[in-house]
Homo-oligomer: A and B are copies of this chain.
Amino acid sequence: MASPNRNPQIRKDTVSNRWVLFSPARARRPSDLKSKSHPNSNNQSECPFCVGHEHECAPEIFRVPPDSGSDWKVRVIQNLYPALCRDLELPSLPHISDPNLNYGDVALSGFGFHDVVIESPVHQVHLSNLSPIEVGEVLLAYKKRIEQLQRHDSIKYVQVFKNYGASAGASMSHSHSQIMALPVIPPTVSTRINSMKEYFDQTGKCSLCEIQRDDLLVDESTHFISIVPFAATFPFETWIIPRYHSAHFHELDGEKAVDLGGILKLMLRKMCLQLNDPPFNFMIHTSPLEVSPLQLPYAHWFLQIVPQLTEVGGFERGTGCYINPVFPEDAAKVLREVKIL
């Protein structure tokens, strides 16, 4: 599926500002791109995310539809093992006062929110099995929760993400995603916003509105396109980008949510069929909750889907550069041509 005769290339992603090495020759290594099977199915009878087991979960934040009782379709709950604590004092002091700290060591208290979104009441149903309208309801649950989190002044950024399959990090097999609200703007987010600013300063345009490479296009819907980015970090990585300019995911309305639900479902089904149901992550890359009017013309959210087909090794950990054995044009062509019946 790669083009073994092309020379390797190093490319720089203008969004993440990261170098990526493209090397079709690597595709011939003695190891397969199709993913291994991923045996993380916790026993259904013991799954706390299943309908009827609500009492085994950490407290609920809301369900969809509201007041639906045991007829819920989506539940947003607290994470029982949160990485951040909603009960800590606000991080008013930037440094925890510890006489042992060396100069330069910075430590904040771990204030923040860590929630789980249960995407279906039924254990066997995956996100890609839902209808576009139902996927849209999950997306609108993200939106609603972000709008709640936004009311906390000390929350600067909200990361929505999904882990599917053990080697993509999932510890629960029941279909779910996660929402983390952070008191800091993560470095990748600042870097991304700064890269987009640089593009804007030089061209007067938004870098994501401008993407126009037919060979990288996978699919289009009324309000979105899906592409393989020019300098994709991972093989068969795809981005779903709104065609309308928008800084924040949570500006999504009901109609656009269904449209996004449809194209997200399509991409997940294509990946599943073509790449043998691989483990994957998706991440919503939005803007910090507070953006200045000056940033609005170039801040543009998107959703990134990363199937996990290769392992990260010492080179990537050491350099932050990634080795991708599949050229984006080739990956886009393959995904474009998958027939969904």
* A contact residues vs B (CB 8 Å cutoff): 7-12, 14, 17-19, 21-23, 25-26, 28-31, 42, 81-85, 88, 91, 96, 100, 102-110, 157, 159, 161-163, 166-171, 178, 180, 182-184, 186-189, 199, 202-203, 207, 210-213, 215, 230-231, 281-285, 304, 306, 310-315, 317-321, 323
Contacts of A199 in B (CB 8 A): 103-104
Contacts of A83 in B (CB 8 A): 8, 21, 23, 25-26, 315, 323
List 27 interface pairs A-B (beta carbons < 8 Å), by A numbering. Answer: A7-B88, A7-B110, A8-B82, A8-B109, A10-B108, A10-B110, A11-B108, A12-B107, A14-B105, A14-B106, A19-B184, A23-B82, A102-B211, A102-B212, A103-B210, A104-B199, A157-B319, A159-B318, A161-B313, A163-B314, A166-B311, A168-B314, A169-B313, A178-B315, A187-B320, A304-B317, A312-B312
The 4 A-B residue pairs whose C-beta atoms are closest, nearest first, are: A169-B313, A161-B314, A8-B110, A283-B318
**Given the interface contacts A9-B108, A171-B31, does A21 sit within 8 Å of B313 by beta carbon?**
no
* Nearest CB on B from A270, distance (A): 19
Out of B11, B84, B281, which one reaches A313, CB within 8 Å?
B281
Instruction: Tell me the complex Cα distance, A84–B9, Å.
Output: 8
Contacts of A213 in B (CB 8 A): 100, 102
Instruction: Tell me the complex Cα distance, A81–B318, Å.
Output: 20
